[in-house]
Structure 1
Amino acid sequence: MTEPELTSFCAVVLAGGRAARLGGSDKASIEVHGRTLLERGLDAVVDAAEVVVVGAPVPTERPVTFVREDPAFGGPVAGLLTGRDRLLRRTPTLAVLAVDMPFLTPATFRRLHAAAVGHDGAVLTDPDGRRQLALVVDTARLDRVRPAPEEEHGASLRSLLAPLDLVDVAPVGDEHRDVDTWADLRDVAE
């Protein structure tokens, strides 16, 4: 059996947070198994037609566009929508991921795309069913639920996505894990 053809998509990598529980360290530059979290995130969306990274610009092996939300540190909704606005291409779906999820792979996003068929999108969960910041969403539907610009900063991602029909997708292996603390980093690096 062959894999279904992947719909063209763009991606937004959220890499501009404060990393308060990591003492303000730049999460994107933290290495896990010899690759930075940003490199791992870009590897996960290698199938994307275009990638925007919301965060400080750093050298990458792959051409990407860097952008910062204004004002800075506006949270995931401000980052997501800033990244969305910076995309040059218009594709049916948009992949969104937090830079601190080192075990996401292209297969993760292929599964999310497959699960999203007939819905507004799909989101990865942890083993307990809690949604993680790794999802695909119908670009036009996201645009329709977008809040006013003055409401983006500090807005809840849960509130933004609530009107959308998103399918929960269970993780395979450790793909749901993230790095929020030094203990998390130690655990994922083992």
Structure 2
Amino acid sequence: MVLPPDAVGFCAIVLAGGRAARLDGADKASVEYLGRTLLEHALEALLDAAEVVVVGDPVPTTRPVTFVRESPRYGGPVAGLLTGRDALVRVPRTLGVLAVDMPRVTSWTFRRLYEAAAGHDGAFLTDAEGHRQLAGVLDPARLDEVRPDHEGQHGMALRRLLSGLDLVDVPPEGDEGRDVDTWADLRDLGPDL
């Protein structure tokens, strides 16, 4: 793949625009865990990213990011991912994607994903049972090749979008593959280890 001269190594998208129905509609980005918002945890995990786009409503952050919303709202992870991709100013070699509700994902997680993706179209973290989570890295050119038209993005399952790509599944270390869908999930994460 030939990259333009302004390409940077790593840019990322945080998916934070869901309904959070099982969290009583709370804005997941603003939910606190260990004294910081879930969004701040996500941004710390993406510390190596040259640019971060957050797909969700704007909330205060300690790091400069771009906030965007998918159209129509609540279009699901594919619409969020592609909206975030379109909002990037830079041209990345590697595109990271992270759901805002995975506070145990770290920059080390993304380094492992990046290494696992070598020679493939990308890599995604799994949970303890081997189910793919919304934490991964992708070759943005390959993502562009499988991109559906705008109408086809709304409600599309991410696994369907990525089904034609050569992806590596990376097992979690500790609790990094856990997400927060309910208040009980947040409580059960417990203190940082």
TM tier relative to shorter chain: over 0.9
Is 1:10 the counterpart of 2:11? The answer is: yes
| Aligned residue in 2 for 1:28 | 29
> For residue 133 of structure 2, what is the aligned residue in structure 1?
132
Structure 1's consecutive aligned runs of 4 or more residues displaced over 2 angstroms after TM superposition are none
Hey, what does 1:173 align to over in structure 2? 174
Number of the residue aligned with 2:162: 161
Q: Which runs of 5+ in 2 are unaligned?
A: 1-7
Name the SS of the counterpart of 2:18 in structure 1: coil
Give the TM-score of the pair, scaled to structure 1.
Answer: 0.95
In the other structure, the counterpart of 2:76 is 75
Is this contact kept in 2: 1:69–1:82, CA < 8 A?
A: yes
Specify the SS of the correspondent of 1:167: strand
User: Any idea what the Cα deviations from partners look like across 1:154-183, whole Å, max 9, x if unmatched?
Assistant: 111010010000001010111001100111
When the two chains are superposed, the root-mean-square deviation of aligned CA atoms in Å is: 0.9
TM-superposed CA distance for 1:87, in Å, is 0.1
Which amino acid in 2 is paired with 1:16? G
List runs of 5+ in structure 1 lacking aligned partners: 1-6
Query: How far does residue 189 in structure 1 lie from its aligned partner after superposition?
Result: 3.3
CA-to-aligned-CA distance 1:3-50 (integer Å, 9 cap, x gap): xxxx81100000000000011011111111111000000000010010
How many residues are aligned here?
184
TM-score, normalised relative to structure 2: 0.94
Amino acid at match of 1:120: D
Structure 1 counterpart of 2:39, one-letter code: L
Give yes or no for contact 1:32–1:189 (8 Å, CA) kept in 2: no
Question: CA offsets per residue over residues 57-113 of structure 1, 9 Å max, x none?
Answer: 011110000000011000000000000000000011100010000100000000000
Answering whether residue 151 of structure 2 is matched by residue 150 of structure 1, we say: yes
- Give identity over the alignment, percent: 71
Does 2:102 align with 1:85?
Answer: no
Q: How far does residue 128 in structure 1 lie from its aligned partner after superposition?
A: 1.4
